Amino acid sequence: MTGEIRLAEANALLERLIAFDSVSDASNLPVMAFVEDHLRRHGLESRRALNGAGDKAAILATIGPRVDGGVVLSGHTDVVPVDGQPWSSPPFELRQAFGRV
């Protein structure tokens, strides 16, 4: 696979992830389901950990061998509210400008 194809695939994935309205006061379960499906399609297992209310979740996925000194990546899917802010472009759309996304 060429670097150009990989970049296009990465941008398509980013575009889809950014499109989720994952404002912090709402459920993140739709984006969690998307990520779980994406991992599953690439042969990776994941575990979902729900919060007490059952409306938000975190995912744990292991990629590569489970050995001492391995790497764990941790992130979050929620964003701060966007209402009433002066965005110069839609906040849930991937934007490309000046060779950057």
Q: What is the pTM of this model?
A: 0.83
pLDDT in the model for residue 68: 83
For residues 72-88, average pLDDT: 84
List the structure tokens of 54: 């059952």
pLDDT band of 15, cuts 50, 70, 90: very high
In the chain, % of residues over pLDDT 70: 98
Calculate the alpha carbon distances from 80 to 18, 28, 32 in Å. Answer: 13, 13, 17
Would you kindly state where each structural domain of the chain is located, as residue ranges?
3-61
25-59 pLDDT tens trace: 999 999 999 999 999 999 888 889 999 999 999 99
